[in-house]
Amino acid sequence: MLNKATLSAAAATARRLVAAAPLGLAVFGVAMAASSTPRPEIDQRVEAVRLLT
């Protein structure tokens, strides 16, 4: 059986994870948005290289 100290440590860990979840989701959302934004200069370079090869 788990003792009281173990249970309180587990509860503290769970509280920290729940508190950090919004930040983690925000970081993930920003990363996803940044990866899907158009980059026209890079696209033009890729097109130029494609035409040369």
Name the 3-class secondary structure at 10.
helix
CA gap 37, 28 in Å, rounded: 15
Residue spans of the domains in the chain: they are 4-52
Q: What is the pLDDT of residue 53?
A: 79
% residues pLDDT > 90 (the chain) = 26
From residue 3, give the alpha-carbon distance in Å to each of 12, 36, 53: 14, 49, 68
What mean pLDDT is reported for the chain? 83
Measured CA to CA in angstroms, residue 45 lies from 17, 34, 39, 41 at distances of 43, 19, 10, 6
- Mind listing the pLDDT tens digit for each residue in 22-44? 998 999 988 888 777 677 777 78
Confidence of residue 21 (pLDDT cuts 50, 70, 90): very high
- The amino acid present at 12, given as its one-letter code, is A
The torsion angles phi and psi of 51, rounded to 5 degrees, stand at -70, -30
